[in-house]
Chains A and B, each alone.
Chain A
């Protein structure tokens, strides 16, 4: 604390750090490349979104259900019963009873519902059963009760007059959106599942209103045909930036690390080691990589979450990452080997060997740092490819965990596309329907921008790092 920092005299004639010089040179060429700058800007935006989503804990897995807007009020009114006597209308196995002349309840639009009317004793209902056809408008059914005593009150209907009939509200139910974490039961009696194809509820709006107060900013994603949950596309895409980056960067980083080490060993040692490793690489490159990943993730269905101490989603993501890594390292190993074969003949490696450096020092200090640049280009390309491949897997039936909407851009895009192809397309081919374009557009744009900006960046890097192309 007391010792004052001693002023260092700057050494004159000090050579700049070659790595920093290389970095500066790369940046000099990169920033003159418009597409590469565009790619960097987009990637920075994505990174910002990812950081925002992580720090603010966007509740990505919330499901939205909407109280169906096409439920209609059905009104039964009776004449002939003395006031105060209860009567009951049963529809769909549910009994609605009343002591007033009116029985009100709501039914979803659609089929003709059979009903039965059962009074308290002594009266006969006409008609006592029938069908009520709920087709988009409120319905009113009139019932007349006759006393079972012959001749009694035939001509004296009770206090019914058409003017006292309460007009059925046009749509009093509206759209009550209920939001709750997936995997839990719906929170209240007002949350009904709703017919799947109701674009008035799931179409996007311009307002960034919070979830729960109406339509969603980027629209809703309806997944798994037959299940009428909506997922929030806006929150999913925000949170997806985070997970997409995490998955692709971790796969590429670990795969490249493995490939770097194996390739460097193979190229440097040569001989039988090289031969054995390269045959292994040949085998891995002969299996269609994506099929191998499909097999691993579809065959391994056992839940290892208790073994690994992670939550089920984390375990499944880990499985995905491991499966990708197993098929990814051979590419890097082959690239690195080719580069090492060139680098190890250079004068500075010879100099290091002459000055008595150990083999591991030569490999890790001289050869690996100098064979990095082709790997950087390949890595930056692959980071953009992996979300596309994850989407490919999801499209073919892989789920991070069954029925959980995992917010990863490839997953969201694949689920949305599947939904359109399996559900809406058939509907639209046979009759009028509205195609949920937002489901295809927004996740697709997110995926496309990510992949293409990474591509621009890697192309710029290739131009900046490879002197031969810089003519």
Chain B
């Protein structure tokens, strides 16, 4: 019963955090010059009418032959459309209302995302994000599994065999994970896959299940270029809209539900390698903490008592020390989760995976195109929500593992 009270209390803390995050994004938007906001919402002005976003214009622009300067009615019309003529608290309230009711606007037709992903053009941001989210979730879950599966045993090992070769190897791995930038590591892996070992393990441009022999795949991919079968591209879930039923939206699960085992395996292979790259960086930061907390626990009294009683060393490490050092691991994982999620855009971009990070990179990649406000802020809110809910899960897990926490 106490557990439920604790969970509810944690969930209640979610509300101020969500409001705070949205206030920060609101402050960011409001701080922008009005001209930038107008361009972002209505696109660049027509070439022969660049004055329409100026507050004050020469009267000859409005009425031919007039002299002097006039206030620009077009400008005020646009301001009114965006609600920018309201006082700031009213704007804030409107922004909060729209955000909480999921009216996050539509994808800009002229942004890089709108151009590169035609199917997303003009669609509501929430539905576009919902097409892309399952991919990110699959990636996140898989890499979390890898992280926990590697960091905890390796950390325990390097604590038990302190300053031995295992420990030194783990230390080197940890340091290089810190020092190697994710984009460089991901690109090196991609180069290796495309040019080196890739072809020999079936990671090729035209895998058997990528060629035209597979009716399901052809139907699925449609007009998507065949290059999507190359180095990380796989069918984007949103391309199946209306073509193939996708009951869950998760590409691997959907393919399996359709009985397309090859396709499911292919999707999995293409996710595993990016997941390994993501995991490498996070393992680096986790490993040191696991090792240190394990060392600390191994010196505590109850471990000495267990040894004195004659409990086998294996059992001491696994059940007495290992279980108790898990608390620290989970806490650190919760703290680094924001950085973990923040690394997704680069990985998805390099490996051409159609997740939320990918669409986020497209929406900010703006040489000439306007920045896509709706997508950027929508994706940030989504990522923030992921981080916050991960933290809640961590807290609840922590309380489950260490019942003393619930009392505090």
CB 8 Å contact bits of B15-32 with A (1 = contact, 0 = none): 011001100110011001
Does B361 lie within 8 Å of A397, measured CB to CB?
A: yes
Does A291 lie within 8 Å of B342, measured CB to CB?
A: yes
**Interface flag for B239 (CB, 8 Å):** no
Minimum-distance CB pairs A-B, first 4: A283-B20, A451-B179, A288-B342, A290-B342
Does A288 lie within 8 Å of B28, measured CB to CB?
A: no
- Of A185-193, A355-363, A420-428, which stretch is located at the interface? A420-428
Does B364 lie within 8 Å of A279, measured CB to CB?
A: no
Report the nearest A residue to B204, measured CB to CB: A429
Query: How distant is B221 from chain A, measured CB to nearest CB, in Å?
Result: 19
Determine the chain A residues whose CB is within 8 A of the CB of B371 once the complex forms: 298-299, 301
**Interface flag for B99 (CB, 8 Å):** no
Report the nearest B residue to A224, measured CB to CB: B367
The answer to whether A421 and B339 touch (CB under 8 A), given A287-B21, A299-B376, A447-B181, is no
Report the nearest A residue to B191, measured CB to CB: A425
Other-chain residue from B194, B230, B377 in contact with A428 (beta carbon distance below 8 A): B194
The answer to whether A417 and B184 touch (CB under 8 A), given A286-B387, A428-B194, A451-B178, is yes
Query: How distant is A87 from chain B, measured CB to nearest CB, in Å?
Result: 45
Interface CB pairs A-B, < 8 A, 26: A280-B20, A283-B17, A286-B17, A286-B21, A286-B387, A286-B388, A287-B380, A287-B383, A288-B339, A289-B339, A290-B339, A296-B28, A298-B366, A298-B371, A299-B376, A301-B371, A302-B32, A384-B179, A388-B181, A391-B183, A392-B181, A396-B346, A396-B361, A417-B184, A429-B231, A452-B175
Query: How distant is B103 from chain A, measured CB to nearest CB, in Å?
Result: 20
Does B349 lie within 8 Å of A396, measured CB to CB?
A: yes
Does A299 lie within 8 Å of B28, measured CB to CB?
A: yes
Give bound CA distance, A306 to B213, whole Å.
61
Does B179 lie within 8 Å of A448, measured CB to CB?
A: yes
**Interface flag for B33 (CB, 8 Å):** yes
Q: Is the interface of A mostly helix, strand, loop or mixed?
A: helix
Other-chain residue from A292, A302, A410, A417 in contact with B380 (beta carbon distance below 8 A): A292
Determine the chain A residues whose CB is within 8 A of the CB of B13 once the complex forms: 282
CB 8 Å contact bits of A74-88 with B (1 = contact, 0 = none): 000000000000000
Determine the chain B residues whose CB is within 8 A of the CB of A298 once the complex forms: 364, 366, 371, 376
Does B183 lie within 8 Å of A414, measured CB to CB?
A: yes
Query: How distant is A133 from chain B, measured CB to nearest CB, in Å?
Result: 31
Determine the chain A residues whose CB is within 8 A of the CB of B176 once the complex forms: 448, 452
Does A395 lie within 8 Å of B346, measured CB to CB?
A: yes
CB 8 Å contact bits of B311-353 with A (1 = contact, 0 = none): 0000000000000000000000001001101110110011000
**Interface flag for B394 (CB, 8 Å):** no
Give bound CA distance, A402 to B391, whole Å.
38
Determine the chain B residues whose CB is within 8 A of the CB of A417 once the complex forms: 183-184, 187
The answer to whether A429 and B230 touch (CB under 8 A), given A282-B17, A388-B181, A392-B346, is yes
* Extra 17 A-B pairs, beta carbons < 8 Å, given A290-B343, A396-B345: A283-B17, A286-B21, A288-B341, A291-B380, A291-B383, A295-B376, A300-B32, A301-B36, A395-B349, A410-B181, A413-B184, A414-B181, A429-B194, A444-B184, A448-B180, A451-B178, A451-B179
Determine the chain A residues whose CB is within 8 A of the CB of B387 once the complex forms: 286-288
Give bound CA distance, A447 to B241, whole Å.
44
The answer to whether A397 and B187 touch (CB under 8 A), given A283-B17, A283-B20, A413-B181, is no
Does A396 lie within 8 Å of B384, measured CB to CB?
A: no
The answer to whether A288 and B384 touch (CB under 8 A), given A279-B16, A283-B21, A396-B349, is yes
Report the nearest A residue to B14, measured CB to CB: A286
Determine the chain B residues whose CB is within 8 A of the CB of A295 once the complex forms: 25, 28, 364, 376-377, 380
Does A289 lie within 8 Å of B187, measured CB to CB?
A: no
Does B188 lie within 8 Å of A440, measured CB to CB?
A: yes
Does A397 lie within 8 Å of B195, measured CB to CB?
A: no
Give bound CA distance, A296 to B373, whole Å.
12
The answer to whether A285 and B184 touch (CB under 8 A), given A299-B28, A396-B364, A397-B361, is no
**Interface flag for A315 (CB, 8 Å):** no
**Interface flag for A294 (CB, 8 Å):** yes
Chain A interface (Cβ < 8 Å from any Cβ of B): 279-280, 282-292, 294-296, 298-302, 384-385, 388, 391-392, 395-398, 402, 410, 413-414, 417, 420-421, 425, 428-429, 435, 440, 444, 447-448, 451-452, 455-456, 469
Give bound CA distance, A296 to B183, whole Å.
20
Determine the chain B residues whose CB is within 8 A of the CB of A279 once the complex forms: 16-17, 20
Interface residues of B in 355-380 (CB under 8 A from A): 360-361, 364-367, 371, 373, 376-377, 379-380
Does B175 lie within 8 Å of A302, measured CB to CB?
A: no
Determine the chain B residues whose CB is within 8 A of the CB of A414 once the complex forms: 181, 183
Query: How distant is B271 from chain A, measured CB to nearest CB, in Å?
Result: 19
Does A384 lie within 8 Å of B383, measured CB to CB?
A: no
Report the nearest A residue to B20, measured CB to CB: A283
Give bound CA distance, A285 to B17, whole Å.
10
CB 8 Å contact bits of B218-237 with A (1 = contact, 0 = none): 00000000000011000000
Query: How distant is B26 from chain A, measured CB to nearest CB, in Å?
Result: 12
Does B184 lie within 8 Å of A288, measured CB to CB?
A: no
Determine the chain B residues whose CB is within 8 A of the CB of A448 once the complex forms: 176, 179-180
Does B364 lie within 8 Å of A294, measured CB to CB?
A: yes
Does B21 lie within 8 Å of A397, measured CB to CB?
A: no
**Interface flag for B273 (CB, 8 Å):** no
Query: How distant is B194 from chain A, measured CB to nearest CB, in Å?
Result: 5
Report the nearest A residue to B288, measured CB to CB: A459
Give bound CA distance, A378 to B323, whole Å.
28
Does A435 lie within 8 Å of B16, measured CB to CB?
A: no
Query: How distant is A34 from chain B, measured CB to nearest CB, in Å?
Result: 12
Query: How distant is A399 from chain B, measured CB to nearest CB, in Å?
Result: 9
Give bound CA distance, A298 to B113, whole Å.
14
Does B187 lie within 8 Å of A440, measured CB to CB?
A: yes
Determine the chain A residues whose CB is within 8 A of the CB of B335 once the complex forms: 285
**Interface flag for B190 (CB, 8 Å):** yes
Query: How distant is A318 from chain B, measured CB to nearest CB, in Å?
Result: 15
Does B384 lie within 8 Å of A286, measured CB to CB?
A: yes
**Interface flag for B182 (CB, 8 Å):** yes
Query: How distant is A396 from chain B, measured CB to nearest CB, in Å?
Result: 5
Does B179 lie within 8 Å of A420, measured CB to CB?
A: no
Question: Which of B24, B360, B367 has the most chain A CB atoms inside 10 A of its CB?
Answer: B24
Give bound CA distance, A300 to B40, whole Å.
12
Question: Which of A279, A384, A397 has the most chain B CB atoms inside 10 A of its CB?
Answer: A397
Query: How distant is A421 from chain B, measured CB to nearest CB, in Å?
Result: 5
Give bound CA distance, A421 to B346, whole Å.
12
Give bound CA distance, A11 to B366, whole Å.
69
Does A392 lie within 8 Å of B183, measured CB to CB?
A: yes
Does B195 lie within 8 Å of A428, measured CB to CB?
A: yes
Give bound CA distance, A440 to B364, whole Å.
25
Other-chain residue from B32, B36, B191, B365 in contact with A396 (beta carbon distance below 8 A): B365
Report the nearest A residue to B367, measured CB to CB: A402
Give bound CA distance, A307 to B310, whole Å.
74
Query: How distant is B296 from chain A, measured CB to nearest CB, in Å?
Result: 8
The answer to whether A286 and B338 touch (CB under 8 A), given A298-B364, A395-B346, A452-B179, is yes
The answer to whether A421 and B384 touch (CB under 8 A), given A295-B28, A299-B32, is no
Question: Which of B195, B364, B365 has the most chain A CB atoms inside 10 A of its CB?
Answer: B364
The answer to whether A287 and B32 touch (CB under 8 A), given A299-B371, A444-B184, is no
Determine the chain B residues whose CB is within 8 A of the CB of A296 once the complex forms: 28
Query: How distant is A291 from chain B, measured CB to nearest CB, in Å?
Result: 5
**Interface flag for B205 (CB, 8 Å):** yes
Does B178 lie within 8 Å of A455, measured CB to CB?
A: yes
Give bound CA distance, A299 to B33, whole Å.
10
Give bound CA distance, A429 to B151, whole Å.
35
Report the nearest B residue to A301, measured CB to CB: B36
Determine the chain B residues whose CB is within 8 A of the CB of A283 once the complex forms: 16-17, 20-21, 24
Query: How distant is A282 from chain B, measured CB to nearest CB, in Å?
Result: 6
